[in-house]
């Protein structure tokens, strides 16, 4: 097993389209295992092969409430339902979180580590992570979904903040300070041992325009 170097913007590999994997062989499984180790090391929730410089349609996900990581080969989103505004970060875009629109539910198909075809139905964070990682395979970053540069927020460039990406950060509380037009997020890292929520690491204040306030309610 090995921890791979995570490519960050503006590395051009992040903007290229990945190729389908023809056969799930040991080389693919080794890459997947190394990506999972890299993901755990970075305290992330999802990682796509181009983020480690490999233009292959392979993603790994490890959701905070699941025991085991998922390896998905040639994942394709087949259906999206609903819309919601979410805070999103990316291991390849360190130091920032953006406010974008994602689906509430997605359906997808993929091939698993054993080469079997599978279908998935995902909601909430799982759906968001799937959309985010499948985007990477097409050279798309969440930055492309921002409607305005004002939806992008710097979260600091110290070492601690570097880890809050690809959904490493779980929003544990959010409250709207209506009169100030701000929304406050308390962000915690998933606990790397048990997959639960660890201590609160960060607080992010997001400016909200009046028209957006209703959509933020949670
Ligand atoms: Zn990403």
Task: Determine the pLDDT at residue 153.
Answer: 83
Expressed in angstroms and rounded, the spacing between residue 19 Cα and the centre of ligand 1 is: 18
Same domain as 95, residue 80:
yes
Q: How far apart are CA 87 and CA 101, in angstroms?
A: 9
Task: Determine the pLDDT at residue 76.
Answer: 98
Counting DSSP H helices and E strands in the chain, the numbers are 3, 11
CATH code, domain with 51: 3.90.45.10
- pTM of whole model > 0.85? no
Task: Determine the pLDDT at residue 102.
Answer: 95
Q: Which of 160, 179, 207 is the last residue of a domain?
A: 160
Task: Determine the pLDDT at residue 71.
Answer: 98
- Which ranges of the chain does DSSP label H, i.e. alpha helix? 26-41, 124-137, 213-216
Q: Quick check: 212 pLDDT over 50?
A: no
Expressed in angstroms and rounded, the spacing between residue 25 Cα and the centre of ligand 1 is: 25
**Structural domain range at position 183:** 166-216
The one catalytic residue among 88, 131, 133, 170: 133
Q: How far apart are CA 54 and CA 15, in angstroms?
A: 12
Task: Collapse the DSSP code of 204 into the 3-class scheme (helix H, G, I; strand E, B; otherwise coil) and give the result.
Answer: strand
Task: Determine the pLDDT at residue 183.
Answer: 53
Residue 5 lies in a domain: no
Expressed in angstroms and rounded, the spacing between residue 134 Cα and the centre of ligand 1 is: 9
Expressed in angstroms and rounded, the spacing between residue 179 Cα and the centre of ligand 1 is: 33
Task: Determine the pLDDT at residue 11.
Answer: 93
Task: Determine the pLDDT at residue 154.
Answer: 81
Taking all residues of the chain, what is their mean pLDDT, rounded to a whole number? Answer: 81
Look at the chain and report how many structural domains it folds into.
2
Residue 133 annotated as catalytic: yes
Query: Lowest mean pLDDT: which of 42-46, 100-104, 146-150, 155-159?
Result: 155-159
Residue 4 lies in a domain: no
Expressed in angstroms and rounded, the spacing between residue 60 Cα and the centre of ligand 1 is: 11
Residue 6 lies in a domain: no
**pLDDT above 70 coverage of the chain, percent:** 71
Identify the residue with better confidence: 211 or 27: 27
Same domain as 144, residue 74:
yes
- Across 28-38, average pLDDT: 98
Expressed in angstroms and rounded, the spacing between residue 167 Cα and the centre of ligand 1 is: 9
Please confirm whether the linkage preceding 10 is cis (ω < 30° from 0).
yes
Same domain as 139, residue 78:
yes
């Amino acid at each position: 097993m090995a921890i791979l170097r995570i490519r960050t913007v503006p590395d051009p590999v992040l903007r290229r389209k990945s190729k389908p994997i023809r056969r799930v062989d040991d080389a693919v499984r080794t890459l997947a295992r190394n990506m999972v180790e890299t993901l755990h090391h970075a305290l992330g929730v999802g990682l796509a092969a181009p983020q480690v410089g490999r233009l292959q349609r392979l993603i790994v996900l490890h959701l905070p409430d699941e025991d085991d990581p998922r390896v998905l080969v040639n994942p394709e989103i087949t259906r999206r339902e609903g819309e919601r505004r979410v805070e999103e970060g990316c291991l390849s875009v360190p130091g920032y979180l953006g406010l974008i629109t994602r689906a509430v539910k997605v359906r997808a198909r993929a091939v698993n580590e054993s080469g079997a075809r599978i279908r998935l139905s995902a909601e909430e964070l799982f759906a968001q992570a799937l959309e985010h990682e499948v985007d990477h395979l097409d050279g798309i970053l969440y930055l492309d979904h921002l409607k305005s540069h004002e939806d992008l927020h710097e979260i600091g460039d110290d070492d601690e903040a570097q880890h809050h990406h690809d959904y490493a950060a779980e929003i544990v509380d959010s409250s709207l300070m209506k009169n100030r037009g701000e929304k406050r997020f308390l962000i915690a890292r998933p606990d790397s041992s048990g997959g639960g929520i660890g201590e609160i690491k960060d607080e992010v204040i997001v400016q909200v325009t009046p028209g957006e306030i209703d959509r933020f309610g949670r």
